[in-house]
Amino acid sequence: MTAVLELRDIKVRFGGVKAVDGVSLALEPGHLHALVGPNGSGKTTVVNTMSRLVTPTDGQVFLGGQDVTAAGPHEVYRRGLARTFQGIRLVEGLTVRENVLLGVQELPTARSRAGRRRAAEAADEALERMDVHHVAQVAPAALPYGVQRRVEIARAVAGAPKILLLDEPVAGMSAGERQEISAVLGRLRDDGMTMLLIEHDLRFVLGLSDHLFVLNFGQLLAAGDPAATAALPAVQEAFLGRKHVPA
Amino acid sequence: MIDWFSGNEGYIQGALVAALLAASVQVALRAGVLSFASVGFYGVGAYGTGYLTATQGWGTAPAATVVVIITMVLSWLLALVLARLRALYLAMATIAFVLLVQIGALAWDSVTGGPLGLFGIPPALGTGGVALILAGVLAVNALTQRGAVGRRLLLLRKDEALASALGVNVRHQHQIAFVWSAVLGSLAGISQASLLTVFTPENLGFSVMVSALTALVVGGTWHWSGPLIGGVVFSWFLSAYLGFASDYRGVVEGALTVVVLVFLPKGLAGLFELLDPGRLRRAAAGPTGGPGGVSAGVPGGASTGQDRPVPAQEMGVSS
Ligand SMILES: Nc1ncnc2c1ncn2[C@@H]1O[C@H](COP(=O)(O)OP(=O)(O)O)[C@@H](O)[C@H]1O
Ligand SMILES: [Mg+2]
């Protein structure tokens, strides 16, 4: 199997901080991968590197076999890499539906009149799939946190991406909301979406993911089958022994 | 009616030009670019048309066409040079460009007439012509505030990193906005030169920039009608009732600006939204990111990610 997305020996330095220190990993088509690690271990920086918001100090990013290390974030988005952010990033002043339209309107397929109509249909479909169609005309700021998160995921999947990166989508959620999001992710996986789920809570991803990456101090500590990887002493120590990484 | 018009024509002309210039600043700002280059291109427009018509004997239409094309080329090149600069650094660089144009106006005697300026510019456009130009410009700005383009502009203005992550080529959009802004600045200059029939370095002072900005802020920086409202209030009403050179004028302008900024952050155009039962009011209804009864049961004391400012590492856009 060829990887849909691949990082080769990625290093990202911010001044003196080695946020990511030589990470290589590959995402397999149709799998739900989880990337876990304590706070500050470099998870967000890995996602930012993949989505090209951060340029690595060293190393390469491959999307569908092509080197995109020098490409812009808008280019990888148009080539099928979508993401959500750790904090909710919905645009105030737009309704829920208009926010989801933002996910389809910049795609090359939405240029023609017919393309624009299909894009709007795709947005409405995504609203239904994420079960937020009943709030389509509402201002997102007025909605509960869990619903806002589903609107963001609807925006990310509306353009039918090949890869979806989710940066801590359930952080700060109630048990019920977490359950809803994990059901949503399960449905997306059943549809064949390649995903990378970032999470700092190892337990949440165990029953959900096909493949686990563990990050610590900017380095891959372990990778492989979720249950087996989580049971490794080094992983247990990273999660239970030391909670915080000195910056 | 005719008496009223002739009594007010000078003020109306001032309002039209001020609205064009304010619209020029606005179209850059609404795409997230803070640029003062408008005033520089105002100078390019005025001197360019003045030189081609008064000195070279061209007709106003071909002169204006050539000047707009020169403006587009010049602003595109300037946009390429300034593309690396962000926010305040970009604003500073555009002020430097304005200073350069002002110096050029004084020094390049053979084209600009130096300190004396240019005389005998044909009054071909007239109040009606300039009003027509403004109407066309505002129509384009109103249309681009709707639909997909309007959504893209709002996204650009509110969250650049998100815009790029949703497929918007941010740099390219900024360049387009910069060029459109330059064209509007140039049109303001072309109009002013044709209305005054005279253009001197004094018409290109620091005060032009200040009036355009205050008119925009008071009128409203987002809504397409903001520049028109600001132009009418500043260059017409204040001038008509206080006189062009009244001692009180600066005080009234300052006070009005502060009152609007404090009570109407969206400018006088924001008043429309209060009357509009449509989506804008709904969209303004709630506070940002209200967590709906979230329990913070997060192991490891991690940040919950809600209601917090966007962390620096998520903002950093490389290009
Ligand atoms: N833009 C930035 N500037 C400086 N330091 C940064 C920046 N982004 C991340 N860091 C640092 O890099 C490290 C990894 O951060 P991050 O990728 O956000 O970790 P995580 O998402 O796992 O919590 C942290 O020490 C953080 O402080
Ligand atoms: Mg993070």
What letter would DSSP give residue A89? -
- Residue A19: CB within 6 Å of ligand 1? yes
Q: Please give, rounded to a whole number of angstroms, the shortest distance from the CA of B317 to a CA of chain A.
A: 5
C-alpha to C-alpha distance for B130 and A35, rounded to whole angstroms:
61
The structural domains of chain B, with segments of one domain joined by +, span: 2-205
The stretch A120-125 carries a mean pLDDT of 94
What is the distance in A from the centroid of ligand 2 to the CA of B102? 49
Q: Give the DSSP letter string of B14-35.
A: HHHHHHHHHHHHHHHHTTT---
Which three-class secondary structure string do you get for A173-237? CCHHHHHHHHHHHHHHHHCCCEEEEEECCHHHHHCCCCEEEEEECCEEEEEECHHHHHHCHHHHH
More confident residue, A224 or A241: A224
The stretch A192-218 carries a mean pLDDT of 92
Best residue of B153, B156, B166 to probe chain A, by most A CBs closer than 10 Å: B166
Pocket residue to mutate for ligand 1, from A14, A20, A197, A244, most atoms within 8 A of Cβ: A14
Q: What is the pLDDT of residue B244?
A: 57
Q: What is the pLDDT of residue B136?
A: 96
- Give residue A1's pLDDT band: very low, low, confident or very high (50, 70, 90): low
Burial of residue B186 (CB within 10 Å: 0-12, 13-18, 19+) is buried
Question: Pick from A109, A93, A117: which is nearest to A161 by CA?
Answer: A109
* pLDDT tens digit at each of 319 positions of chain B: 677 777 778 888 888 999 999 999 999 999 988 888 999 999 999 999 999 998 888 999 999 999 999 999 999 999 998 888 777 778 888 888 899 999 999 899 889 988 888 998 889 889 899 999 999 999 999 999 989 999 999 999 999 999 999 999 999 999 999 999 999 999 999 999 999 999 999 888 778 888 888 888 888 888 898 899 888 887 777 777 776 566 677 777 788 888 887 777 778 877 776 665 454 444 444 333 333 333 333 333 333 333 333 333 433 333 3
Tokens read off for B137:
């410009």
**A49 contacts A61 by C-beta, under 8 angstroms:** yes
Q: What is the pLDDT of residue B231?
A: 87
Chain B residues within 8 A of A38 when measuring between CB atoms: 300
More confident residue, A103 or B250: A103
Span A51-63, pLDDT tens digits: 999 999 999 999 9
Q: What is the pLDDT of residue B250?
A: 73
Q: What is the pLDDT of residue B310?
A: 35
- Return the ligand 1 atom nearest residue A41 CA: 22
Backbone φ and ψ for A233, nearest 5 degrees, come out as: -55, -40
* Domain A1-80+161-247 CATH superfamily: P-loop containing nucleotide triphosphate hydrolases (3.40.50.300)
What crossing angle do the helices spanning B37-50 and B2-29 adopt, rounded to 10°? Answer: 130
Span A163-188, pLDDT tens digits: 999 999 998 888 898 999 999 999 99
C-alpha to C-alpha distance for A128 and A146, rounded to whole angstroms:
16
Flag whether the ipTM exceeds 0.90.
yes
Closest partner residue to A73 (CB to CB) among B148, B165, B284 is B165
Whole-angstrom CA distances from B104 to B193, B259, B284 are 17, 37, 46
**Percentage helix, strand, coil, to 5, in chain B?**
70, 0, 30
Q: What is the pLDDT of residue A149?
A: 94
More confident residue, A25 or B215: A25
Q: Does the pLDDT of residue A242 top 70, yes or no? A: no
What letter would DSSP give residue A19? E
Q: Please give, rounded to a whole number of angstroms, the shortest distance from the CA of A97 to a CA of chain B.
A: 11
- Give residue A106's pLDDT band: very low, low, confident or very high (50, 70, 90): very high
Which residues, at least 6 apart from A239, have a Cβ–Cβ distance to it below 8 Å?
A: A36, A38, A202, B300
Beta strand A58-63 with A66-67: parallel, antiparallel or unpaired?
A: antiparallel
Q: What is the pLDDT of residue A98?
A: 95
Q: What is the pLDDT of residue A31?
A: 95
Which residues, at least 6 apart from A14, have a Cβ–Cβ distance to it below 8 Å?
A: B313
Closest partner residue to A44 (CB to CB) among B148, B169, B313 is B313
Angle at the Cα of B174 (from B169 to B179), degrees rounded to 5? 130
Location of each CATH 3.40.50.300 domain in chain A:
1-80+161-247
* pTM, rounded to two decimals: 0.85
3-class secondary-structure state, position A32: strand
3-class secondary-structure state, position B302: coil
C-alpha to C-alpha distance for B34 and A28, rounded to whole angstroms:
43
C-alpha to C-alpha distance for B29 and B174, rounded to whole angstroms:
10
Q: What is the pLDDT of residue B54?
A: 84
Ligand 1 atom 2, closest CA = B313
Which residues, at least 6 apart from B263, have a Cβ–Cβ distance to it below 8 Å?
A: none
